[in-house]
A and B are shown apart, each in its own frame.
Chain A
Amino acid sequence: MGLLLVGAVVAWLVVNLIESPAQFMTVFVLGITFGSLYGLIALGYTLVYGILELINFAHGDLFMIGGLLSGTFIISIFDLQGGKVWYVLWPLLLLTLVIAATLCASINVGIEAIAYRRLRNAPRLAPLITAVAMSFILQGIGLIFWGPRPTSTNNLVSESKVFDLNGFSVTWNKLVVILVTAPVLIGLIWLVQKTRQGKAMRAVAQDMQAASMMGINVNRTISFTFAVGGALAGVAGILWMIYPGQMRFDTGFQTGLIAFTAAVLGGIGNLKGAVAGAMVIGLIQAFNEGLSIGSPGSNWTQSIVFSILILILVFRPEGLLGERTPEGQ
């Protein structure tokens, strides 16, 4: 049954590839772009889940706050819209990125200290409900400070084409998203696998008590994990303001759910899995919305993504690449 479904999807993709290769490739790049954004957010879910086994519902909304904050910097403070020259645009965008990442990291650490730390020994539902509450609070903050209408940037990074091959084209603003994401992901994997702090994170994730007996400061390690996740959400926020360039107080919640699906798809707690899952989800979304032959269309994207989520949770809760799950043990 499962194989049949996958076979049908592959056949559908092949038909589209043969019929209109240029469109297929353009949609493919779009999928990778969204996949990068989802990946940055999904890592935040997976990092926290790996260490606390908590679904941090507020993470998507943190990404929203990051996007709206950088939107304010881009639009009002630095005034970067309308095609500025590159030596003004790029340093200031980089500065905005650093500011957004720092602010989001601090907010995330604050959320952990206020809302989650007290409940570390409570039954599992208690921190989950608290996370939902934090999500509401962040949405409320977004609504109060930025209003119910979307904040959007226009003509921030050039939308001209990098190249054009018989209709297969890539625009600069999409390329920037991919180009920024790649080093961030590599840096993260280096951080977790090669540094001392990363080792501490992995130790705490494996066994909190044993880690503390080895002299690891558990609270500080957890705070650090939240800081890393928050910074990634901030980066995703500013990239989202570059492409697709529009953010509203409830954007984060929806996007967060999709990113969470990506994390579950890749095997929650597994960093590489989260990125792989995000790419798959990004591609599914792009193919569904962009291909012309027999695609259900953007009206159904959410349903498809959440159906995948439910199917994965019911039939393969350890995800595609698998790692720790509360179900499997």
Chain B
Amino acid sequence: MTSARGAASGIKRAIAGVGTTWRSMPAQTRRWVAPGVALLLVLLFPLYRSGLTGIPGAGRYFPDVESMIVMLIFTMMAVSLNVVVGYAGLLDLGYVAFYAIGAYTVAVFASTQFGGTNEHPRTIRFGAIAPESLPGIHISIWLLLLLAAVVTAVLGVMIGLPTLRLRGDYLAIVTLGFGEILPQVARNGDDLFGTGFNLTGGSSGITPVDPPGFGESLNSVLPFLPENFRTAENSARLFYWSALALLVLTIFCCLRLRDSRLGRAWVAIREDETAAAAAMGIPLMRTKTWAYAVGAFFGGLAGGFFASFKSSAFDTDFFFQISIFILCMVILGGMGNIWGVIVGALFLSYLDRYGLNTLGSDINGRFGTTLDIPKYTFLIFGVILLVTMLFRPEGLFPEARRKAEIEEGVHDEPLYEESLYDTQHE
């Protein structure tokens, strides 16, 4: 009795202590506590995962590290799409193009794609960790990630320049058009325009793609830098931590951009294009193009890393469904709010990669049904998107400003004035 009371008061005192520390912290520091704790939990995930799976019932619902890697990559894409859709208010239905271009850029320069023929092998190497005997172009993945991001950003600008003049739904259609043209180019790219030039490997794709790594010489000097991610003992963890590092980089850049002059210009354009241009003197085209370039840059980075992780680039990487899937994450989480988008992205990609399958086999096992869960993903994501739009169009964790815009409808001309007819004729 007394010991229980003692423990209770001890806990109370501990909580009070935490509270005092919390209050004494400057607001600047306080803001970073929650993200910091979350980051720490995510960072250490591979180390304590095996402990979690032991929990009866719920244990099987914790994703494995491989699924977590894919989830992190998708989160990265959602955060960068958020720059285009959430900050600047430009609906992009062909976002997958950026990610696939990144993937192909890495794949072309880190595989045997341009290895020449057996009689005349061709080898170009630069800091790569692939074996010397392997023909083809092999460049260090770290450099290629940067190259992929830059190439994709340049392509984003090229797509953006002629099309960003269009407003709202027309822009969405044009991006969708690009999203449909590019996969066909990739699919027919094994024989471009009948010249026999094989750029993309056609429908058989490009595989295998080199893994990231630091190489033998660096490894011998600094043994904590692994030589080759794929052959390393803890391969999955290395990929996981590098994906996390890239994600943190993306989040950091997007947060800083949001508060920059450019970020404020994006929001101004989103809220009222005419006022932004006329009253604030914001250059419309340049500002919008920057949004595209930034979104493309990080999309390409994510795609490039994904190609290296799964060791391939296929034309099916361009599926329109992936664009919609990423858009779903942004909308569900709350357009414009990075933290919301991260939650939305982790949740949806978790469902896609791991949760739905586990849930499905659980249901099948318990009720003896034979549900084929992948069959239902279309329907499930459609319903999630629909329900979100109907009942909470601002998303689960809306940015205050965006919420106000949606409620008051300042972003775009509302289609109609508050209508007279709704009540009169019903």
Contact = CB atoms under 8 A, between A and B. Distances in A.
A140 B393 CA distance: 22
Contacts of A54: 169
B181 A144 contact: no
B20 interface: no
Interface residues on A, range: 35 or more
B173 A55 contact: yes
A327 interface: yes
A65 interface: no
A133 B386 CA distance: 5
Nearest to A211: B421
A36 B320 CA distance: 27
A31 interface: no
B187 interface: yes
Given A128-B91, A209-B416, A306 B382 contact: no
Interface stretch (A11-19, A118-126, A168-176, A280-288): A118-126
Contacts of A115: 386, 390
Nearest to A301: B184
B301 to A, nearest CB: 26
A313 B174 contact: yes
Interface in A124-156: 124-126, 128-130, 132-141, 143-144, 148
Interface of B is mostly: helix
B379 A299 contact: no
A257 B382 contact: no
B324 interface: yes
Contacts of A253: 320
B169 A55 contact: yes
A3 interface: no
Nearest to A118: B390
A212 B331 CA distance: 34
A130 B389 CA distance: 6
Contacts, number: 174
Contact of B389 (A126, A148, A326): A126
Interface in A259-286: 260, 264
A314 B162 contact: yes
A179 interface: no
A326 B168 CA distance: 9
A217 to B, nearest CB: 5
Contacts of B389: 119, 126, 129-130, 133
A300 B193 CA distance: 10
Interface residues on B, range: 35 or more
Nearest to A315: B162
Interface string B165-187: 11111101110111011001101
Given A130-B390, A132-B324, A313-B174, A218 B421 contact: yes
B139 to A, nearest CB: 30
B380 A140 contact: yes
A268 B287 CA distance: 29
Interface string A100-132: 000000000000000100111111111011101
Contacts of A129: 91, 327, 331, 385, 389
Nearest to B191: A299
Contacts of B91: 125, 128-129
A299 B426 contact: no
Nearest to B382: A136
B234 interface: no
Nearest to B416: A208
A313 B421 contact: no
A126 B385 CA distance: 11
Interface in B398-426: 405-406, 409, 411-422, 424-426
B173 A212 contact: no
Given A125-B91, A130-B386, A217-B425, A327 B406 contact: no
Contacts of B377: 140
Interface string A19-48: 000000000000000000000000000000
A119 B390 contact: yes
Nearest to A148: B375
Contact of A309 (B173, B188, B420): B173
B343 to A, nearest CB: 19
Given A140-B376, A313-B174, A121 B419 contact: yes
Given A144-B379, A313-B174, A137 B425 contact: no
Contacts of A133: 382-383, 385-386, 389
A212 B176 CA distance: 35
B48 interface: no
Contacts of B415: 52-53, 120-121, 124
A136 B331 contact: no
Interface string A298-316: 0110110011011001100
Contact of A124 (B166, B169, B320, B376): B169
A71 B324 CA distance: 29
B126 to A, nearest CB: 33
Interface string B84-99: 0000010101000000
Contacts of B409: 121-123
B378 interface: yes
A145 to B, nearest CB: 10
Contact of B405 (A123, A209, A219, A220): A123
B45 interface: no
Nearest to B325: A136
Given A122-B414, A209-B420, A314-B174, A299 B169 contact: no
B163 interface: yes
A192 to B, nearest CB: 21
A213 interface: yes
B354 interface: no
Contact of A299 (B177, B188, B406): B188
B419 A141 contact: no
B381 interface: yes
A257 B416 contact: no
Contacts of A209: 416-417, 419-421
Interface of B: 89, 91, 93, 162-163, 165-170, 172-174, 176-178, 180-181, 184-185, 187-188, 320, 324, 327, 331, 375-383, 385-386, 389-390, 393, 405-406, 409, 411-422, 424-426
10 contacts: A122-B406, A125-B168, A132-B385, A136-B382, A148-B375, A208-B419, A218-B425, A220-B425, A299-B184, A303-B184
Given A132-B385, A138-B382, A313-B166, 19 more contacts: A55-B172, A122-B414, A126-B393, A128-B91, A128-B169, A129-B389, A133-B383, A140-B378, A140-B380, A143-B378, A143-B379, A208-B416, A213-B420, A299-B188, A300-B188, A306-B181, A314-B163, A317-B166, A327-B166
Cβ-closest 9 pairs across A and B:
A140-B379, A136-B382, A140-B378, A212-B421, A133-B385, A137-B382, A133-B386, A306-B177, A218-B421
